Amino acid sequence: MSEQIPLARPELGEREEALVLEAIRSGRLSIGPLTERFERDFAAWIGVEEAVAVSSGTAALHLGVRAVGWGSGDAVLTSPLSFVASANCLLYEGAEPRFCDIDPVTLNIDPEAAAAAIDGAAGLLPVHIFGYPADTLALEALAGGRGIPILEDACQAIGAIHADGRYVGSRGNPTAFAFYANKQLTTAEGGMLVTAAGAAAQAARSERNQGRSPSMEVMEHVRLGFNYRINELEAALGVAQLERIDDTLVRRAAVAAAYQQRLAEVEGLTLPCPDRGGERRSWFVYVVQLPEDADREAVIAGLAAAGIAAKPYLPCIHLQPYYRERFGFRGGEFPVAESVAARSLALPFFTAMTGSEVDRVCEALRAQLGVAP
């Protein structure tokens, strides 16, 4: 039987091993020099003054919510097509998500839908879904006219570029990144909050460490905080991964291009949208939308029988059981997002994926859809 092709596979090498060993030998396993180096290198690469390393993308989002001041009674406009953390982070502080529908091409929050739903909202939380940059410029114009803040969820989008040529996360809005094992850059677990310099960064560093005084000289807790620290072993992985992030993004784009070429003529199959204008996707996953008459579960089972992992990606947040029960959401409220979610399928995708592996996945998918080679 052919070797299994996983949905994702992190790429770790000698540099990661060397830096992790350096951390172990240092005896400093938390809040040490590698964490500071990772933050400094990340901020320099994105082009911002401050970056605060934390334990996960979810932690970064939560601290971002606190940084912009959303709380009890605040409604925040966001996308229903996302990983659940982009809405959960609002609930942690007593705010609530107000969903609006998505653009059928980019799959990001639709600025026109946002404009129709923004009255009374306390802010915007756009998600750069599947690594494609949301139309942040349009959303900034919308928010700026009302004097409300934006928190960007770039947990899937490190290295994505806006139409104006700037990296996602570099426009001055607090922005959360994530480094889970399937991400473009991984620290196993971990995240980063890009925020304004000065007081905001100082507060985030304090909050990630149980609210302790930033000086760390005394056991003094100056604010409510959390255990959101990244450790030195994770930071070591981050430093190593960041050293070659540009090459990683190029290689992932090449894997995506191979998929695009091999699946371009499959009738009824919707592929990820190409870059438009100056916008550039950072390839996180490769997600297709199956033909409307396809049985997704049967396709997944057929691929699994061929040794190929695949996964529905992503279900709509508002239709998750908890959100249905708490807020009374129902099907049909956001038809574009719901249609995309019902047809979406994540195929194997990782930096070191070979052309022969892409061929094998595409041949198996064609077979499951009844399409001749």
The tokens for 273 are 């949208």
Q: Say how far apart CA 43 and CA 228 lie, in whole Å.
A: 19
CB within 8 Å of 259: residues ≥ 6 apart: 271, 286, 347, 349, 358, 361, 362
Sequence letter at residue 307: G
How far is residue 252 from each of residues 42, 103, 284, measured CA to CA in Å? 20, 24, 8
Sequence letter at residue 204: A
Q: Say how far apart CA 151 and CA 76 lie, in whole Å.
A: 10
Residue 49 carries which DSSP code?
S
Runs of H (alpha helix) within 69-154: 85-91, 111-117, 136-144
Q: Say how far apart CA 203 and CA 191 lie, in whole Å.
A: 16
The tokens for 189 are 């677990």
User: β-pairing, 344-347 with 96-99?
Assistant: unpaired
How far is residue 219 from each of residues 38, 97, 214, measured CA to CA in Å? 25, 36, 10
- Quick check: 286 and 256 in contact, CB under 8 A? yes
The catalytic residue among 183, 229, 252, 280 is: 183
Listed residue (68, 93, 78, 70) closest to 128, CA to CA: 78
How far is residue 186 from each of residues 86, 142, 158, 164, 287, measured CA to CA in Å? 19, 33, 11, 27, 20
Q: Which residues are paired to 150 by β-bridges? A: 124
Q: Say how far apart CA 202 and CA 214 lie, in whole Å.
A: 7
183 given a catalytic annotation = yes
CB within 8 Å of 75: residues ≥ 6 apart: 95, 96, 97, 98, 120, 121, 122
Active site residues: 183
